[in-house]
A and B are shown apart, each in its own frame.
Chain A
Amino acid sequence: MIAGQVILLAVAVMVYFGFAHRVLDRLRLSDRAALLFLAAMIAGGFLPDIQLGSSLSINIGGGVIPLILVGYLWSKAEKHEISRSVIAVVITAAVVYAALKIMPIEPTHNFFLDPLYFVALLAGLVAYLAGRSRRSAFIAGTLAIFFNDLLARIENIMAGITTPIAIGGAGVFDAIVIAGFIALGFAELTGETLERISLEAQGKKGNGKIDSPGTEDNPVKTENEPGEGDA
C-alpha cells in the first residue's frame, strides 16, 4: 500500500479506537482499565482462535475479551441491574435474530444502513428501551451478536453444513465489538437527549453534565473506584 492509504487506514483506526476508549470509559471502568481492555481486544485479535469443536472457534480479541468484559460488568452490578440486563440480552438477541432473517441479504436492499451498523443500532435501541442503561446496551449489543453466531452454528448443524464459524474472528473490528460500542454510543446519545429534554421540561436550565448518570436509578461512575483500575 502507498503512504496515503496507510495514513487513511491509520486515521480511521485511531478515530475508531478513540471512540472505543470513550465508550469503554462509560462502563464504570477507570481510564486504565478501559485502555487495558481495548489493548487486549486489539492484541487478542492477532492471536490464534480457540477451537470449540470442528467448525466453531472463538477469537480472543473479538470474542473472549468482550465476554470477560461483560462478566466483569455483571460482577460490579447490583442484582436488579443484572436481571434487567439479562432481559435486555434475551429481547435484543431475539430481535437481532429476527432482523437478520427478515432483512434482505444484500446491503443494497436495506432501507438506509448496512446490516453491520443497522443491527448494532437496533441492539442499542432495544437494549436501551429494555434496560434503560448504557451498560445494559453494551452487554445486550455484544451478547446479541454472540448468541446469533451460536444460533448460526446450530442452523448449520441442523442443515448438515460444516462451514466454520469464528466467533469474534475479526478481533476488535468484529461485529460483536462494533455492536457493543455502537449500542452503547447510541444509548448514550439517546440517554443524553432524553435527559436534556427532561431537564428542559423541568425548567432546570444549564448545568447539564456530560458525564451525567445513565439512568435515574443506575448512576454511571466515571471516576475511578478503588481497585477498579486493575481489572
Chain B
Amino acid sequence: MSKKNFPRILITFLFFCLILLNPVLFNALPTKAQNTPDFLALQEMDERGDGFFFMKDLESKDTIMKTARLIRPGNEYITGENELFCVEKVEGDIAWARSKGKIKLFEGNIATISQDNSSLEKTVFQKKRPENKPENNVPRMGVYHSHGAESYVPSDGEESTLEGGGILQVGHAFVEALREKGLEVNYSSHTHVPHDAGAYNRSRRTAEQLLHQGVGALFDVHRDAVPAEEYTAEVEDTPTVQVQIVVGQQNQNIQSNRHFAEGLKKVADKVHPGLVKGIFMASGNYNQDILPLSLLFEVGTHENTREGAARSMGLFSDVIEVYFMGEPGKQAREGLGGTALKSILWIIFIAGLALGGYLLIGTGSIEELRAKLRHFFSREFAEFKDKRNGDRGDGDHSGNDGGTA
C-alpha cells in the first residue's frame, strides 16, 4: 500500500474497530440497562435473560407494560384500555412515557357497531359462514416467521430451536383457523436462521415471494421474552395468552399499518375482549415497507405454553374474519384510504426535501441551485416546445436527439 492510502486504510480500520465495539460502547452508556456488559451475552440481546424493560407512566409512576424489546424515546404504546403513551426518556431499564389520554381507535365507523357481542356475531359470523367463501375484496393473507426458531419453554423445552421452533406450530394453527373460515392464506414455515441481525433481510425475501403469490395482507408471527404473567389475561373467563401487535416506525406505511392495527384491536375488543394486549409502535422496519397491510404479532412469551399460544391465534382468527369479512371491518378498511393518501403526501414531501438537500450540497448556494433549475427547466421545456412544434409540422426536427446526455 502506498503512503497516500495509509490514512484511508487507518480510518477504515478504526471504523471497523468501532463497529466491533459498538454494543459494548452503547451498553456502557448510562441510559442502558445492563450492569456489566458481557460481550458474548450481548449477542443474545433480543431475548434478555437478565431482565426486561419497563414502560412507566411519568406522572403516576405505574408500570404500563414490560417487554424484552428495547424501548426508545419516540416509541408509542396503546394499552389494552386504549390509552396512548409516548416515550419521552429512557433511564436504565425504565422507559418513561407520558399519557396522551384515552384515544378513539381508528375512526372507521367500527365505533358505531353494537356493543352487544351476540348481535355482532349474528351480523358477521352467521351471515358469512354458511357460504364459507370470502368476498372478492377480501385480500389473500400471508403468514410467515422472521424468527422461525422461537420456542415456548414449557412445551418445547428450550427458548430457541434452530431447526424450527414452536412458533411454527402456532403460526400453522393460525393459518388453519383462517382457512376454516374460508379465508385464503399462503404460509411460509422458513426459519430464516442463522439467528442474527440479517434474519429480517432474509425474511424480506419470503415476504416478497408471498406478495408475488397475490397476498394482500402480511402477518409476521413472533413471541416475546418476558414473564408469562405479562401476556396472560382472562378472556371470556378463561386464562388466555395475549397477542401484542407491533408496528414499525421506520417505513412509509406506518400510518396505514397503525390504523390497520387499531382497526383489528377495535374488533378484538368487541369479539374477544382482552385478547389483544396492546399496540407497540417500535423502532425498526419489520419489512412493513413492503405492504400497507402488514403487521407483526407477538403471541405470548417464551414462558407461555405453545398450546395456549396456538389457542389464542385461533381466537385471533375470529378477529381477522370479522375485520375482513364483516361489515364493521369493511367500513374500517374503507377508512384506510384517507390514511394512505396522507402518507402519499408525506412521501412526496420527504422525497422533495431530500432532492432539494442533495441539489443544494451539489450546487453550493441557493442562487446557484435556482440558476441550475432554471437552466434545467428551460432546456427541458425547449425540447418539449420543439417536439410540439414538430408535431404541428412547423419544422423538421428529425435530428433532435432529445436525450438528457
CB neighbours (8 Å) of A126 from chain B are 12, 15-16
Q: How far is the CA of A193 from the CA of B351 in the complex (A)?
A: 19
Contact B190 A163 (CB under 8 A): yes
Q: Is the interface of A mostly helix, strand, loop or mixed?
A: helix
A105 in contact with B196 (CB, 8 Å): yes
The answer to whether A109 touches B285, judged by C-beta atoms less than 8 angstroms apart, is no
**Total residues of chain B contacting the partner, CB 8 A:** 87
* Residues of A with C-beta under 8 A to B347: 8, 11-12, 15
Q: A192-B361, A208-B368 given as contacts; is B23 within 8 A of A102 (CB)?
A: yes
How many whole Å from B309's CB to the nearest CB in chain A? 19
Q: How far is the CA of A9 from the CA of B16 in the complex (A)?
A: 37
In contact, B405 and A1 (Cβ under 8 angstroms): no
Contacts of A95 in B (CB 8 A): 15-16, 19
Known A161-B193, A193-B361; judge A4-B19 contact (CB<8 A): no
Contact partner of A108 among B20, B70, B339, CB < 8 A? Answer: B70
How far in angstroms is the closest Cβ of chain B from A143?
Answer: 15
A152 adjacent to chain B (CB < 8 Å): yes
Which residues on A sit within 8 Å (CB–CB) of B292?
Answer: 1, 5, 8-9
Are A102 and B20 also in contact (CB < 8 A) when A8-B253, A224-B403 are?
yes
- Whole-angstrom CA separation of A132 from B7 in the bound complex: 12
**Chain A residues with CB below 8 A from B404, complex form:** 31
Q: Which of A8-40 contact B (CB under 8 A)?
A: 8-9, 11-12, 15, 18, 30-31
Judge whether A163 and B191 touch: CB under 8 Å: yes
Q: How far is the CA of A183 from the CA of B201 in the complex (A)?
A: 16
Whether A148 contacts B198 in the complex (CB less than 8 A), given A46-B212, A99-B19, A106-B284, comes out as yes
A71: Cβ under 8 A from any B Cβ: no
Q: A91-B16, A98-B16, A114-B284 given as contacts; is B361 within 8 A of A173 (CB)?
A: no
Min CB distance B264 to A, Å, is: 15
| Closest Cβ–Cβ distance, residue B146 to chain A (whole Å) | 9
B367 → A minimal CB distance (Å): 9
Are B70's CB and A106's CB within 8 A?
A: yes
* CB < 8 Å neighbour of B208 from A15, A101, A104, A171: A171
Q: B205 touching A206 by the CB < 8 A rule?
A: no
B206:A169 contact, CB within 8 angstroms: yes
**Contact present for B344 and A8 (CB under 8 Å):** yes
Contact B351 A163 (CB under 8 A): no
B163–A161 touching, CB < 8 Å: yes
Which residues of B approach A to under 8 Å, CB–CB? 8-9, 11-12, 15-16, 19-20, 22-23, 26, 42-43, 45-46, 69-72, 75, 139, 147-148, 162-164, 190-202, 204-209, 212, 216, 248, 250, 252-253, 256, 282-286, 289-293, 333-334, 336-341, 343-344, 347-348, 351, 358-359, 361-365, 368, 372, 403-405
